């Protein structure tokens, strides 16, 4: 617990977290909620936080990919900006009713964003942030120029799937189609189906869906005898490298997209792959020795490895809940909340045996809030809102800076790092806001979020 680890705290805040942890874990969340802000006030606080982050970007990083809040500077991922922060944050602005900010972001995107660039990009990141953002923008805003940009990007990414196995290379040059990075991982291979599939549905061009589905099927067919996947695979040979299996970064959203592709496209092949995969995950990765966590195991034997779980793994209660497995989702969410409140904010990676950080940083990640939102919307249980309230308070307290919000080098010391990723506006603040906003803000049951929290609506009728 925090007191035994010598973690420096601000006394105006720490007693509230201790009380929150005690009440929530004891099932007494309702008592705490009565002492807190109303849901409307909480949503307003989060909306103000978004404006603070956006204003910092506008002042110091306009036209670039992301803000560096401590140095009042900016960072581009590549030799030219891909307008990541405006595009990632655009649908959040629409959901929050920030019409003036959305209009300004839209002008920048449509006037400045070009994919005719002679440099390689990471297929996974550009797909979930850029392609996903454009598709969501088109569905929410209706401007066909968003869809035109999405199709242009999709065409430029298609050469990545040209390996012998059909699994994509990690990088592709947007102008020449040259590919690099044959050693990839399940997340980067399997987290393309929602975006490429939606592009096919909206454009009428089946190539995108077919390429992404073929890739994930090729990966699934190379799972081990016991049904697990490893951490790295060569897309040219299909040979596994690192055989460590888990639900953390590098594998995480592979599982997420098996379920969500079934929900969005109603393609029974995805349901078959999800059912087989989750059975293996629950059998070999679920670890109940100190509560419920999902740890690491050898993909071939199932032998338990490191007892590690972290910020990226915290998406899994949401996926379990969406699949209908509320018992596992609820227990795992309790572990996620314990991880968060032990340090006042979650670490990147935690050893759940010792309850000490393995990687102590916090990158403004959204997954814990994402899971609280899913569980609240699916179950209606107020304790998940109260968990979210505590997490939002600590997040805003420790990461707010004069300009925007900043990542932490360590959740133990609360030392800051000069970075505000675009997903903070796309995911973290969106899930936080939706947790407290009226349910009609976004019809949870009518959309599927991509892994960057861009909502996609199934506007097509007949299954493929």
* Token pair in block for residue 365: 């990640």
Q: What is the reported pLDDT for 361?
A: 98
Q: What is the reported pLDDT for 1?
A: 30
Q: Is residue 316 within 8 Å of residue 371, measured between CB atoms?
A: yes
Say whether 221 is catalytic.
Answer: no
Q: What is the DSSP letter of 408?
A: E
pLDDT at 3 over 60: no
Name the residue with higher pLDDT: 463 or 348.
Answer: 348
**pTM assigned to the model:** 0.93
Could you tell me the pLDDT band of residue 461, with boundaries at 50, 70 and 90?
A: confident
Question: Matching CATH topology for 1-81+307-456 and 115-304?
Answer: yes
pLDDT at 24 over 90: no
pLDDT at 250 over 80: yes
Q: Say how far apart CA 232 and CA 109 lie, in whole Å.
A: 35
**What percent of the chain lies above the pLDDT cut of 70?**
92
Say whether 83 is catalytic.
Answer: no
The per-residue DSSP string of 325-363 comes to -HHHHHHHHHHHHHHHHHHSS--SEEETTTTEEEE--B-
pLDDT at 463 over 70: no
Which of 83, 125, 130, 427 is catalytic? The answer is: 125
Which of 346, 367, 370, 427 is catalytic? The answer is: 367
Burial 47-69 (b: 16+ CB within 10 A, else e): bebbebbbebbbebbeebbbbbb
Domain positions in the chain are 1-81+307-456, 115-304
Q: What is the reported pLDDT for 37?
A: 83
Could you tell me the pLDDT band of residue 314, with boundaries at 50, 70 and 90?
A: very high
With respect to CATH, is domain 115-304 assigned 1.20.950.20?
A: no
Q: What is the reported pLDDT for 17?
A: 46
So what's the architecture of 1-81+307-456 in CATH? Alpha/alpha barrel (1.50)
pLDDT at 396 over 90: yes
pLDDT at 284 over 70: yes
Which of 195, 244, 252, 427 is catalytic? The answer is: 252
Q: Say how far apart CA 246 and CA 262 lie, in whole Å.
A: 22
pLDDT at 5 over 90: no
Q: What is the reported pLDDT for 2?
A: 30
Neighbours of 241 (CB within 10 A): 13
pLDDT at 172 over 50: yes
Burial 308-344 (b: 16+ CB within 10 A, else e): bbbbbbbbbbbbbbbbeebebbbbbbbbbbbbbbbbb
CA dihedral 398, 368, 256, 330 (to 10 degrees): 170
**What percent of the chain lies above the pLDDT cut of 90?**
91
Q: What is the DSSP letter of 206?
A: T
> In 404-454, where do the E strands start and end?
407-408, 416-417, 447-449
What are φ and ψ of residue 377, in 5° steps? -65, -35
Which of 91, 244, 348, 427 is catalytic? The answer is: 348
Could you tell me the pLDDT band of residue 28, with boundaries at 50, 70 and 90?
A: very low
Say whether 130 is catalytic.
Answer: no
Say whether 256 is catalytic.
Answer: no
Q: Say how far apart CA 159 and CA 179 lie, in whole Å.
A: 7
* Token pair in block for residue 4: 């035994």
Q: Is residue 237 within 8 Å of residue 303, measured between CB atoms?
A: no
């Amino acid at each position: 617990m925090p007191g035994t680890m010598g973690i420096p705290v601000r006394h105006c805040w720490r007693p509230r977290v201790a009380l929150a942890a005690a009440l929530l874990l004891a099932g007494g969340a309702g008592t705490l909620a009565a002492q807190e802000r109303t849901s409307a006030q909480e949503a307003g606080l989060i909306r103000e936080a978004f404006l603070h982050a956006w204003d910092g970007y506008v002042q110091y990083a306009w036209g670039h990919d992301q803000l560096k809040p401590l140095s009042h500077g900016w960072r581009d991922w590549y030799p030219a900006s891909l307008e990541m922060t405006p595009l990632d944050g655009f649908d959040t602005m629409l959901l929050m009713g920030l019409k003036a900010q959305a209009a300004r972001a839209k002008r920048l995107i449509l006037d400045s964003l070009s994919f005719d660039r002679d440099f390689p990009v990471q297929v996974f990141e550009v797909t979930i942030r850029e392609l996903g953002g454009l598709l969501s923008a088109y569905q929410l805003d209706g401007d066909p120029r968003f869809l035109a940009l999405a199709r242009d990007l999709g065409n430029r990414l298609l050469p990545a799937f040209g390996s012998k196995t059909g699994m994509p290379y990690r990088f592709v040059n947007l102008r020449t189609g040259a590919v690099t990075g044959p050693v990839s991982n399940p997340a980067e291979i399997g987290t393309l189906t929602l975006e490429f599939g939606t592009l096919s549905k909206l454009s009428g061009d089946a190539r995108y869906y077919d390429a992404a589905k073929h890739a994930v099927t090729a990966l699934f067919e190379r799972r081990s005898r016991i049904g697990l996947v490893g951490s790295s695979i060569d897309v040219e040979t299909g040979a596994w490298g690192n055989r460590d299996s888990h639900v953390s970064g590098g594998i995480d959203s592979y599982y997420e997209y098996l379920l969500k592709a079934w929900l969005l496209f109603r393609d029974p092949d995805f349901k078959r792959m999800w059912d087989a995969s989750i059975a293996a995950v629950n059998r070999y990765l679920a670890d109940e020795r100190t509560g419920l966590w999902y740890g690491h195991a050898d993909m071939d034997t199932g032998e338990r490895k490191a007892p590690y779980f972290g910020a990226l793994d915290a998406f899994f209660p949401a996926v379990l809940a969406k699949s209908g497995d509320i018992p596992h989702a609820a227990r795992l969410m309790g572990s996620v909340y314990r991880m968060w409140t032990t340090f006042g904010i979650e670490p990147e990676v935690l050893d759940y045996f010792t309850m000490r950080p393995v990687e102590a940083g916090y990158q403004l990640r959204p997954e814990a809030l994402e899971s609280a939102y899913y569980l609240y919307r699916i179950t209606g249980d107020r304790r998940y809102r109260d968990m979210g309230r505590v997490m939002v308070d600590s997040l805003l307290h420790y990461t707010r800076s004069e300009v925007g919000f900043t990542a932490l080098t360590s959740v133990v010391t609360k030392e800051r790092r000069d970075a505000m990723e675009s997903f903070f506006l796309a995911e973290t603040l969106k899930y936080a806001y939706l947790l407290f906003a009226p349910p009609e803000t976004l019809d949870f049951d009518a959309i599927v979020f991509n892994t960057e929290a861009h909502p996609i609506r199934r506007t097509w009728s007949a299954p493929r």
